Amino acid sequence: PCLSETPEARVLERAVLESRVREMEEENRQIRLQLSQLQGTGVDIRNSVDGIASLFSAQLIHVACVCAGHNASRDVVTLVKSILFHRKNPLHFHFITDAVANQILSSLFQSWMVPSVQVSFYDADELKSEVSWIPNKHYSGIYGLMKLTLTKALPSDLTKVIVLDTDITFATDIAELWAIFRKFTDKQVIGLVENQSDWYLGNLWKNHKPWPALGRGFNTGVILLYLERLRRIGWEQMWRLTAERELMSMLSTSLADQDIFNAFIKQNPVLVHQLPCFWNVQLSDHTRSEQCYTEVSDLKVIHWNSPKKLRVKNKHVEFFRNLYLTFLEYDGNLLRRELFGCPSRAVAIPGSDATPLEELDEDDQCYDFRRERITVHRVHLYFLQYEYTPTGDDTDVTLVAQLSMDRLQMLEAICKHWEGPISLALYMSDAEAQQFLRYAQASEVLKNRKNVGYHIVYKEGQFYPVNLVRNVALRNANTPYVFLADVDFLPMYGLYDYLRKSVVQLDMAHTKKALVVPAFETLRYRLSFPKSKAELLSMLDIGTLYTFRYHVWTKGHAPTNYAKWRTATTPYKVEWEADFEPYVVVKRDCPEYDQRFVGFGWNKVSHIMELDAQEYDLMVLPNAFMIHMPHAPSFDISKFRSSPGYRYCLQTLKEEFHQDLSRKYGAAALKYLTAQRNI
Amino acid sequence: PCLSETPEARVLERAVLESRVREMEEENRQIRLQLSQLQGTGVDIRNSVDGIASLFSAQLIHVACVCAGHNASRDVVTLVKSILFHRKNPLHFHFITDAVANQILSSLFQSWMVPSVQVSFYDADELKSEVSWIPNKHYSGIYGLMKLTLTKALPSDLTKVIVLDTDITFATDIAELWAIFRKFTDKQVIGLVENQSDWYLGNLWKNHKPWPALGRGFNTGVILLYLERLRRIGWEQMWRLTAERELMSMLSTSLADQDIFNAFIKQNPVLVHQLPCFWNVQLSDHTRSEQCYTEVSDLKVIHWNSPKKLRVKNKHVEFFRNLYLTFLEYDGNLLRRELFGCPSRAVAIPGSDATPLEELDEDDQCYDFRRERITVHRVHLYFLQYEYTPTGDDTDVTLVAQLSMDRLQMLEAICKHWEGPISLALYMSDAEAQQFLRYAQASEVLKNRKNVGYHIVYKEGQFYPVNLVRNVALRNANTPYVFLADVDFLPMYGLYDYLRKSVVQLDMAHTKKALVVPAFETLRYRLSFPKSKAELLSMLDIGTLYTFRYHVWTKGHAPTNYAKWRTATTPYKVEWEADFEPYVVVKRDCPEYDQRFVGFGWNKVSHIMELDAQEYDLMVLPNAFMIHMPHAPSFDISKFRSSPGYRYCLQTLKEEFHQDLSRKYGAAALKYLTAQRNI
């Protein structure tokens, strides 16, 4: 379909096309005539194409997917985005998951809140015994085999389901695929696309002996499963018998479920409905898929079934990659759009007592701030591989922090200064999350650390919801204690061990304490980081270091009492004062940050105030320190500085926070109001 | 199309649907039977839907658009993206442009390099006389009226064209719209969608007297123009006569071309082919479009024809906005995909003597660097409003710099320090460019400056192509002299005036000079910026300021001879030395930066070396200075520091640069090689 080279060719081509089109139009007109009899029943059938689409648009489409681990959970999101992008129907996703994928995907969908999308989870562990007896060599491991168990795993009243691998990308409306169930003959129970490699022909190399298959065999990346009929014919028995028989000679499966499906089909060819090749264009290493897609002007489903994934060599790989990247970096918030004709339900915000959107006053000067507070941000927990078990002695401490793209370069340094577990929330767009992924995968320091939990909070709205992001990091710390830090600080070497010892020493388990880690700062990019408190003190004396915000906002850390700290050898208690915002170690079940504070201002101050209201003792650690590294001011600070509106709203929010404190903690909380007024 | 509420309703609904689908399938089967006769002619007709699509896929589709000014040029890109996203056909865009839009769009398409897309430009100024006699009150001004002149403006052998306003978004393949030309009866010459407001009914307010129209009238945001037939019936005469006659009583048009089209149609109703409403869903203020789109499951074209644009109040505006935002922020590079079946032509890179991609050795250790050099980055010049005429005395100087998102906060400060013209190249993704737009539109400082040219260079590849970005800023400076700066520096107050005087004083016009502006740095975020050289010197003495990179890379600026500068009162000449990288003022036609240097390292050094090779005199200005403001290290520096491969390739590139210098400048250039080896 490109520009014809000569005018003659163009004229001829057009004449041929025109005559064909006229013929086809005539035929279509006939259909439309017949269809017009259907009109008046409320369904609008404009022509055959629209007609079919609108007839199906009321149907709920079921999609099943086996998904285990961190990487597959990331992949499946791109699949889901590509489906949501084109869909016009309500959808029900059925995920067979391990514990990791369950946690990630359930929190993701809960916060994604896509209208007309249901999600169900099924425990893969419970299905393991069904397939664990099958020896398997494929990289998908035991999870690939679980596709065999779907008649059992999915609800018994579910009649039909589309089963997809996680490495699939949709380039069209999934309703078109669902519609193919209608073309099944009465006997057919399973719809598949032919395999696009020579694997099952058994001639790839000497002594290559694949499982039995019909011709080239079928690929199981995209399956239409007619569950109702499969149950009726006794599928569960049948595939087992097939597998057992073949395993006597084959010893193990090479391609997991696909070998068993193929052996089964070879014996029962009438049960299969062959799908057109474009429903599963297989980009495997030695694919023959080109014979399929060069013939069709529109590709419907791409299957990245090479272990090389996006790096597979293929003449058209750039084309496929672009389709894939479209969804990989697509802003998932845009998929929250309503389906037309569906009444939108008021959305309840989990765990929030904020005013619902309808009740907000659009003319309120601080409308934008209030709106921000009730915005639900999509959250993808554990975006990267994570494996960590807290130390068994109940003293473990997680460093908790939040950041956005402009602080990414701090991560390696923090990892070098803190060997313990870290819980990081990253405020990013979908595209930035992919940039971060590439960065982390390329970093020797980061990729060797498995005890860092990276949680993506997707961007939305005009403010930086700093306390919401902090809470995501806090909630997902897995140790009894948390060190509430900021990403632009480097902890002293050995702080992790020292904090764990202090937890014991100060009996944190049975008291209500917040351990203060004194904060310092350097204005120099190239700091030779002090190895000890003594070294730090001498750097303070010569002016290489300062106490944190000494020049601009002394009050934030003055109560730490740096003078006393210089000579202290044991922890000492300090009293709360207005605007105190130290970095503290507390129990993980401490109060959360107040999410009404967005952007710059009062985000940590309000948290420390609430700790004090709950009667935490503030204990300064004599041998702990952390140093702030220099960076350019953030956007939100400049916004704050230049806008009187911003300052006014921050003041309003502060007052409301005070009122809430009094309501929660009674008369004792009045001191915060007084302290505030005295400033 | 949502989840049915009760199981009973679901069963009933399904039964009804199933019977309808069976009927329709039967009908389709009949069509397919008939179509099968067509097979064997090489055209693959799988079913009626695919058949029609593939028949049209060879056709070249023509699209015309009137576009003037900076804002419309930004808008039209989103329209074009939405068309390219869905298209499967070769396209030819015809843009009627003023000089501004011509420059922006022609450079954009040249660098975009979308396969199977042709672009032609037509000068709107030449068409002005055709319509300037028509008094018009519509916000589109004289450009709206130009749609009337397309039979004359477009090539005389162009038979059909789709005419679009810039505030249109496509949600489907434009080939479907093009196909409607086939449905025109022999008499019909123009295809339009009915107007979706009550405007032409003339009852909007008291004494509201619209132009004559057929019923509700037609909207001209989307027009199918059958040019060939229009020419045949004498359209040019006809619309003029209509306009002249109506203007006798109406005095002026209210809705520009739309009034005249409607008056014309009222007189000649047989000439119009009414398009289904979903081809132009009008989101104007009091639209009745909901009556259209709630009936169709798929919207095809959205028209943002309210002056409020995206802020229009509408029940479904979130839905429409999401569709629009999809393309607004869509990575335009992904639209470079080939159409299937089109032979890809080797792409010549404008103005580059680099090796073509095919000739690169994939196993070369520096493949990624070399590949970067031949990557063509999409460029959108003058992204924001720009109006500036250089001073008439031929002394004008433009500050030239480049940046990415992480330095955006420098822009306001630079604007406060430099009142003259600025040419900035911004390295960004499509989404970031929109973020930047919002930032600039919200900034009081930036939005009042019209002499800053913002040029977006779209991100691609893994390196920061710093010299390519610098060259875009340099090439688009419009004054005889340029001040080649960096975005993290603040010029001293008054530098603009001082430089213009120095240009005269040093007779820059008739000599080959590079004026050096001495560079200093502060490590403090809150600097009280020195008001004079005297103040600067005393800040140097007390250590509040340093000479630039004094601590880490003295050589970069050592030849400036800061000791001499302290007491200098007249410009003095300095000699080039290895690794010298001062900030200089030169004639605009200076050599460009060498684009092989990407990321960190040697990007300015190589440029100064080439100035020296061309025998520029390096003259230090005694009363000029600039100060580097602190910021966190960039990503590319960290990459450089951690990777031996990066360092190796930089070394290789340096050597190749030296060889090229020798080739270009002969034996004299050998001194650079020697200087290099001595280090």
Q: Give ipTM to 2 decimals.
A: 0.70
Q: Which A-chain residues 644-673 have CB contacts (< 8 A) with chain B?
A: none
* CA atoms of A259 and A242, how far apart (whole Å): 10
For residue B230, the model assigns a pLDDT of 97
Q: Which CATH class is domain B61-335?
A: alpha beta
Q: Which A-chain residues 477-506 have CB contacts (< 8 A) with chain B?
A: none
pLDDT in tens, B623-640: 999 999 987 766 655 565
Nearest-by-Cβ selection for A631 from B118, B326, B632:
B632
Higher pLDDT, B485 or A293: B485
For residue B273, the model assigns a pLDDT of 97
For residue B63, the model assigns a pLDDT of 98
Please give the torsion angle defined by the CA atoms of residues A219, A223, A229 and A233, in that order, rounded to the nearest 10 degrees: 30
pLDDT confidence bin for A13, thresholds 50/70/90: very low
Q: Which whole number is the average pLDDT over A243-253?
A: 88
Report which secondary-structure segment, H or E, holds B668. Answer: none
CA atoms within 13 A on the CB side of B588: 19
pLDDT in tens, B97-148: 999 999 999 999 999 999 999 999 999 999 999 999 988 888 778 898 999 9
Best probe of the A interface among B17, B57, B60, B340, by most A CBs < 10 A, is B340
Do the Cβ atoms of A383 and A456 come closer than 8 Å? yes
* CA atoms of A431 and B333, how far apart (whole Å): 14
Indicate the CATH number for domain B379-677: 3.90.550.10
For residue B379, the model assigns a pLDDT of 98
For residue B81, the model assigns a pLDDT of 96
Across the interface, whether the CB atoms of A1 and B25 are under 8 A apart is answered no
Q: Which B-chain residues 184-203 have CB contacts (< 8 A) with chain A?
A: none
Nearest to B338 by CA among A320, A633, A356: A320
For residue A52, the model assigns a pLDDT of 42
pLDDT in tens, B59-75: 899 999 999 999 999 99
Contacts of A21 in chain B (CB under 8 A): 52, 55-56, 179, 182
Q: Which whole number is the average pLDDT over A100-127?
A: 96
* CA atoms of A323 and A30, how far apart (whole Å): 37
CA distance, residue A143 to nearest chain B CA (Å)? 31
Is the minimum CB–CB distance between B326 and chain A shorter than 8 Å? yes
End-to-end CA distance of chain B: 73
Q: Given a cut of 90, is residue A55 above it in pLDDT?
A: no
Q: What SS3 string covers A152-205? A: HHCCCCCCCEEEECCCEEECCCHHHHHHHHHHCCCCCCEEEEECCCCHHHCCCC
* CA atoms of A476 and A77, how far apart (whole Å): 20
Unique residue bearing structure tokens 């310092």: A520
Nearest to A625 by CA among A555, A535, A541, A551: A535
Q: Given a cut of 70, is residue B253 above it in pLDDT?
A: yes
Name the percent of chain B lying above pLDDT 90. 58
CA distance, residue A150 to nearest chain B CA (Å)? 23
Q: Which whole number is the average pLDDT over A650-663?
A: 90
Residue B593 vs residues A520, B598, B603, B670: alpha-carbon distances, Å: 42, 11, 7, 20
Residue of A nearest to B41 (CA): A16
* CA atoms of B501 and A633, how far apart (whole Å): 35
Question: How many other CB atoms are found less than 10 A from the CB of residue A198?
Answer: 16
Averaged confidence pLDDT in chain A: 85
Identity of the residue numbered A315? K
Burial per residue of A343-360, b for 16 or more beta-carbon CB atoms within 10 angstroms, e otherwise = eeeeeeeeeeeeeeeeeb
Is the minimum CB–CB distance between A329 and chain B shorter than 8 Å? yes
Size of interface A-B (CB pairs under 8 A): 241
* CA atoms of B596 and B366, how far apart (whole Å): 11
CA distance, residue B48 to nearest chain A CA (Å)? 8
CB-based contacts of B679: which residues, under 8 Å, 6+ apart?
B578, B579
Q: Given a cut of 50, is residue B12 above it in pLDDT?
A: no
Q: Which whole number is the average pLDDT over A425-448?
A: 91
Q: Which whole number is the average pLDDT over A39-44?
A: 36
Nearest-by-Cβ selection for A635 from B3, B53, B409:
B409
Query: Max CA-CA distance within chain A?
Result: 96
For residue B523, the model assigns a pLDDT of 79
Lowest mean pLDDT among A138-147, A383-392, B171-180, B449-458: A138-147
Is the minimum CB–CB distance between A416 and chain B shorter than 8 Å? no
Domain ranges of chain B: 61-335, 379-677
Across the interface, whether the CB atoms of A341 and B2 are under 8 A apart is answered yes
Higher pLDDT, A468 or B599: A468
* CA atoms of A150 and B418, how far apart (whole Å): 68
pLDDT confidence bin for B601, thresholds 50/70/90: confident
For residue B21, the model assigns a pLDDT of 45
Burial per residue of A213-227, b for 16 or more beta-carbon CB atoms within 10 angstroms, e otherwise = bbebbbbbbbbbbbb
Residue A654 vs residues A228, A673, B142, B310, B442: alpha-carbon distances, Å: 59, 10, 53, 33, 26
For residue B644, the model assigns a pLDDT of 75
CA distance, residue A22 to nearest chain B CA (Å)? 8
Q: Given a cut of 50, is residue A34 above it in pLDDT?
A: no
Q: Given a cut of 80, is residue A310 above it in pLDDT?
A: no
Nearest to B195 by CA among B220, B170, B227, B225: B220
Report which secondary-structure segment, H or E, holds B612. Answer: helix B605-613
Q: How far is CA A412 from the centre of its chain?
A: 22
Q: Which whole number is the average pLDDT over A81-105?
A: 95
Q: Which whole number is the average pLDDT over B358-379?
A: 82
For residue A78, the model assigns a pLDDT of 97
pLDDT in tens, B265-285: 999 999 999 999 889 998 876
CB-based contacts of A4: which residues, under 8 Å, 6+ apart?
A10, A13, B58
Across the interface, whether the CB atoms of B44 and A295 are under 8 A apart is answered yes
For residue B42, the model assigns a pLDDT of 34
Nearest to A390 by CA among A300, A503, A240: A503
For residue B384, the model assigns a pLDDT of 97
pTM of this prediction?
A: 0.80
pLDDT confidence bin for A315, thresholds 50/70/90: low
For chain B, helix (H) and strand (E) counts, in that order, are 25, 23
Is the minimum CB–CB distance between A406 and chain B shorter than 8 Å? yes
* CA atoms of B119 and B110, how far apart (whole Å): 9
For residue A598, the model assigns a pLDDT of 84
CA distance, residue B326 to nearest chain A CA (Å)? 7
Bridge partners for B481 per DSSP? B397, B587
* CA atoms of A474 and A400, how far apart (whole Å): 6
For residue B510, the model assigns a pLDDT of 96
Please give the torsion angle defined by the CA atoms of residues B640, B641, B642 and B648, in that order, rounded to the nearest 10 degrees: 60
Q: Which whole number is the average pLDDT over A115-119?
A: 94
Is the minimum CB–CB distance between B43 and chain A shorter than 8 Å? yes
* CA atoms of B503 and B481, how far apart (whole Å): 8
For residue B313, the model assigns a pLDDT of 66
CA atoms within 13 A on the CB side of A622: 11
For residue A116, the model assigns a pLDDT of 92
Do the Cβ atoms of B612 and B598 come closer than 8 Å? no
Question: How many other CB atoms are found less than 10 A from the CB of residue A16?
Answer: 14
The residue length of chain A stands at 679
Do the Cβ atoms of A62 and A159 come closer than 8 Å? no
Name the percent of chain A lying above pLDDT 70. 84
What does A552-588 look like in DSSP terms, one character per residue? T-GGGTGGG-HHHHHH--S-EEE---TT---EEEEET
Report which secondary-structure segment, H or E, holds B271. Answer: none
CA distance, residue A666 to nearest chain B CA (Å)? 42
Nearest-by-Cβ selection for A20 from B31, B55, B407:
B55
Q: Given a cut of 90, is residue A56 above it in pLDDT?
A: no
Higher pLDDT, B617 or A21: B617
Contacts of B322 in chain A (CB under 8 A): 334-337
Best probe of the A interface among B16, B21, B24, by most A CBs < 10 A, is B24
Nearest-by-Cβ selection for B638 from A27, A409, A552:
A409
Do the Cβ atoms of A214 and A269 come closer than 8 Å? yes
Is the minimum CB–CB distance between B630 and chain A shorter than 8 Å? yes
Q: Given a cut of 90, is residue A379 above it in pLDDT?
A: yes
Is the minimum CB–CB distance between A315 and chain B shorter than 8 Å? no
Question: Is the fold of B61-335 the same as that of B379-677?
Answer: yes
* CA atoms of A276 and A288, how far apart (whole Å): 14
Burial per residue of A434-453, b for 16 or more beta-carbon CB atoms within 10 angstroms, e otherwise = bbbbebbeebeebeebebbb
A653 backbone dihedrals φ, ψ, rounded to 5°: -65, -40
Higher pLDDT, A56 or A189: A189
Nearest-by-Cβ selection for A341 from B1, B34, B334:
B1
